[in-house]
Amino acid sequence: MLLRFGSKPVLVVSSAAAACEITKNPRPSIRSLCVVHLLSNKRVLSFRTVREEETTLMIDKIKQSYSSLPSSVVNLTELFMSLTNNVVCRVALGRKYGGEVRFKELLGEFVEYLGFFDVGDYIPWLWWVNKINGLYDRVERVAKELDDFIESVVEEHERGGREGGHEDFVDVLLQVQRENMSSGSPIHRESVKALILDMFSAGTDSTASVLEWVLAELLGHPLILKKLQNETLRLHPPVLLVPRESMRDTQVMGYDIAARTQVFTNVWTIGRDPSLWARPDEFWPERFMDGLVDFKGHDFEFIPFGAGRRGCPGIQFVVSVDELALANLVGNFDFSLPVGEELDMSEAAGLTVHKKTALLAVCDSSLGKNNRKEK
């Protein structure tokens, strides 16, 4: 469907066949760098200890809450954001950043502003609207604070002033930068900082979003415990619309598309297409029991992380964090809604699709104790 948002042509792709054509693009060099050096299976596996330690801390925190007051309500949304932020901090930067910087708040603001509608992008002569309402000033403030923080992290790594530990993403990026200095395609400092920010904005938000929706669906369907992840990703893809822009005149499904047309792949609609999925709006994990379809970008009817050579390079990282956290949560707790509360499955607008309201639950840790006794 070709639309026009003001002066900007916008193509919305809502079928698996069209999505397949859209994603047939040359491999970008930056994505290749991420896949080869930062997010390879070997690299992700090397951070296993970090994932295990942070997951254990989260589980222990929930257990302490249950021990002090069994009927206490736990804010799972907050816990999941904290878990993923801590994992990404340690993996990317080498350590967690606590009270010395308001990094978590800055990152939240950054992701929020990424999802804002900028009327000037589509109706250029109305650029002044977001200037008057203060949006541009707020965005510039957050961008400046984030840039200063990331610059300080890079400088700390260059000085070798960090304590102990494994080789993190910043170490790897600086090493690749040094190796490429003499080549014809050097990696500039701004690119290094942009990649670090990408790791956080994509890794933290989407990873927490998947956990949030999995547990929300569990609370609504307490007897279904198999094939949770795939079905949750189908119903609630972390990114609703995967954006692209055509670099030159091209064709999609026989239609002429002009250069610089904004292209959105509607992952949400494809995941609920009745021609591809039986009972498309139902939470039915058994549909994945045959294992013929997965979320890694090979099956275009199911592309929550994008597909093709421009698909998300961090799929393995997100899955490794979410699977470990989910297995520990399901294995240690019985979850129920707070007394008198109903499950709200409304979705919030934004770059990443979160629940509109925080996920609150009573977490009964007696399940974990019973499991240990049975063993």
Instruction: Give 336-372 pLDDT, tens digit per residue.
Output: 888 888 888 888 766 677 788 999 998 887 654 544 4
CA distances from 43 to 52, 92, 174, 206, 314 (A): 15, 12, 16, 20, 11
pLDDT confidence band for 75 (50 / 70 / 90): very high
Q: Which residues contact 11 (CB under 8 A, 6 or more apart)?
A: 1, 2, 3, 246, 252, 257, 261, 262, 263, 264
The angle formed by the CA atoms of residues 284, 315 and 323, to the nearest 5 degrees, is 55
In the structure encoding, which two tokens stand for residue 352, read together? 């990443």
Instruction: Give 205-232 pLDDT, tens digit per residue.
Output: 778 888 888 888 888 876 664 466 567 7
Is 312 annotated as contributing to ligand binding?
yes
Q: Domains (ranges, CATH) in the chain?
A: 2-365 (1.10.630.10)
Instruction: Give 133-168 pLDDT, tens digit per residue.
Output: 788 888 888 889 888 988 988 898 888 755 555 778
What sign for the dihedral angle of Cα 25, 30, 32, 34? negative
Q: How many whole angstroms separate alpha carbon 107 and alpha carbon 230?
A: 27
Tokens 């949560």 belong to residue: 329
Nearest alpha-carbon partner for 139 in 170, 106, 184, 169? 106
Give the number of other CB atoms < 10 A from CB of residue 233. 26
Instruction: Give 6-59 pLDDT, tens digit per residue.
Output: 777 888 878 877 777 776 655 455 556 666 666 777 777 788 888 999 999 999
pLDDT of the residue at 76: 92
pLDDT of the residue at 263: 84
In the structure encoding, which two tokens stand for residue 12, read together? 């919305």
- What strands, in cross-sheet order, belong to the sheet with 8-13? 2-5, 8-13, 262-266, 241-245
Instruction: Judge whether residue 100 has pLDDT over 80.
Output: no
In the structure encoding, which two tokens stand for residue 36, read together? 């080869």
pLDDT of the residue at 374: 41
Q: How many whole angstroms separate alpha carbon 21 and alpha carbon 280?
A: 23
Question: Percent of the chain beyond pLDDT 70?
Answer: 80
pLDDT of the residue at 375: 40
- Helix 169-179 × helix 189-220 angle, to 10°: 150
